Structure 1
Amino acid sequence: MLLQALGPGQARFVGGAVRDSLLGLEAKDLDVATPLSPYEVMRALGAVGIKVVPTGITHGTVTAISDGQVVEITTLRSDVTTDGRRATVAFTDDWQQDAARRDFTINALFADPQTGELFDYFDGLADLRDHRVRFIGDPLTRIAEDHLRILRFFRFHARFGKGQPDEAGLRACVLRANDLMALSRERIADELLKLLAHPDPAATVSIMVEHGVLASVLPEIEQSALPRLERLVQAEQQSGIVPDGLRRLASLIPCDPALAEKIAARLKLSNRDRKRLASAVQAELDLNPRALSYRIGTESAIDRLLLAGLAEQAASVAHWDPPRLPIGGGVLIHKGLAPGPAVAKTLKIIEHQWVERGFPQGPEFDAIVSEVLAAEA
Structure 2
Amino acid sequence: MTTLPDAPWRNRVGLEQLATALGAQDGQARFVGGAVRDTLLQLDVADIDIATSHAPTEVIARLQDARIKAIPTGLAHGTITAIVEGAPVEVTTLRRDVATDGRHAIIAYTDDWREDAARRDFTINALYADPATGEVFDYFGGLDDLAARRVRFIGDPLQRIAEDHLRILRFFRFQARFGEAIDQAGLDACTARANDLMALSRERIASEVMKLLVATGAVAVVRLMVERGIFRAVLPEIDEAGADRLAELAQREQAAGIAPDPIRRLAAVIPAADAESVGARLKLSNADRKRLIAATAGPGEEGTRGLAYRAGIVGATDRLLLAGGDLTAIQGWTPPTLPINGGALVARGLRKGPDVAAMLRRIETLWINEGFPDADRLSTVADTLVAEVLAAQSAPE
| Corresponding residue number in structure 1 for 2:121 | 103
Q: In 2, distance between residues paired with 1:277 and 1:213?
A: 22
- Of the structure 1 ranges 261-270 and 221-230, higher mean CA displacement relative to structure 2 is found in 221-230
CA offset digits 1:21-51 (Å, max 9, x no partner): 0001111110000110011111112112111
Does the Cα contact within 8 Å between 2:299 and 2:320 map onto a contact in 1?
no
Tell me by how many angstroms 1:284 deviates.
Answer: 5.3
Deviation at residue 298 of structure 1 after TM alignment: 1.8
What secondary structure sits across from 2:258 in the alignment? coil
- State which of 327, 330, 335 in structure 2 corresponds to 1:317: 330
Write the mapping of 1:191-202 to structure 2, written as runs, cut at 5 A.
191-202=208-219
- Structure 2 unaligned segments of length 5 or more: list them: 1-16, 392-397
Q: Is the 8 A contact 1:109 1:120 kept in 2?
A: yes
1:123 counterpart = 2:141: yes
Partner of 2:263: 246
Partner of 1:2: 18
Q: Aligned AA for 2:58? A: E
Q: How does 1:197-208 map to 2 (within 5 A)?
A: 197-208=214-225
Q: Which one of the candidate residues 247, 250, 275 is aligned to 1:233?
A: 250
Identity %: 58
* Residue from 360, 375, 380 that aligns with 1:362: 375
Following TM superposition, by how much is the alpha carbon of 1:360 offset from its aligned partner in structure 2, in angstroms?
1.3
CA deviation map 1:246-287 (0-9, x unaligned): 10110111122xx21111001111100110000012245346
- Range moving further from structure 2, 112-121 or 320-329: 320-329
* CA-to-aligned-CA distance 1:316-342 (integer Å, 9 cap, x gap): 424433222121222111101223322
The answer on 1:352 being equivalent to 2:365 is: yes
Displacement after TM superposition at 1:240 (Å): 1.6
Residue identity matched to 2:268: S
Q: 1:224 and 1:102 mapped to 2: Cα distance?
A: 35
* Contact 2:210–2:263 (Cα < 8 Å) also in 1: yes
Among residues 240, 249, 257, which one is paired with 1:223 in the alignment?
A: 240
> What is the CA–CA distance in structure 1 between the aligned matches of 2:136 and 2:217, rounded to whole Å?
30
Question: Are 1:274 and 2:289 matched, yes or no?
Answer: yes
Q: Which secondary structure state, in structure 2, belongs to the residue aligned with residue 133 of structure 1?
A: coil
User: Match of 1:64, SS?
Assistant: strand
In structure 2, the partner of 1:78 is: 96
Larger deviation: 338-347 or 40-49? 338-347
1:300 to 293, 312, 315: 315
1:260 and 2:275 are equivalent in the alignment: yes
- d(CA) in 1 for partners of 2:84, 2:277: 45
Match of 2:76 in 1: 58
Give the Cα–Cα distance (whole angstroms) in 2 for the partners of residues 138 and 286 of structure 1.
56
Q: Which amino acid aligns with 1:4?
A: T
Task: Name the SS of the counterpart of 1:71 in structure 2.
Answer: strand
2:39 to 21, 37, 43: 21
2:197 counterpart (172, 180, 183): 180
- Which residue matches 2:306? 291
Distance 1:76 1:325, change over 3 A: same
TM-score, length-scaled by structure 1: 0.95
Deviation at 1:62? 0.3
Measured on the aligned residues, the alpha-carbon RMSD in Å equals 1.4
1:168 maps to which of 182, 185, 191:
185
CA distance in 1, matches of 2:341, 2:297: 31
Moved more, 279-288 or 56-65: 279-288
The aligned counterpart of 1:210 is: 227
Is 1:88 equivalent to 2:106 in the alignment?
A: yes
Query: 1:38–1:62: 8 Å Cα contact kept in structure 2?
Result: yes
Q: Does the 8 A contact of 1:199 with 1:243 survive in 2?
A: no
Q: Distance in 1 between matches of 2:258 and 2:102?
A: 37
- What 5-or-longer segments of structure 1 have no aligned partner? none
Contact 1:200/1:233 (<8 A) preserved: no
Does the C-alpha gap of structure 1 residues 316 and 43 become closer, same or farther in structure 2, counting only changes over 3 Å?
farther
Letter in 1 for 2:147: R
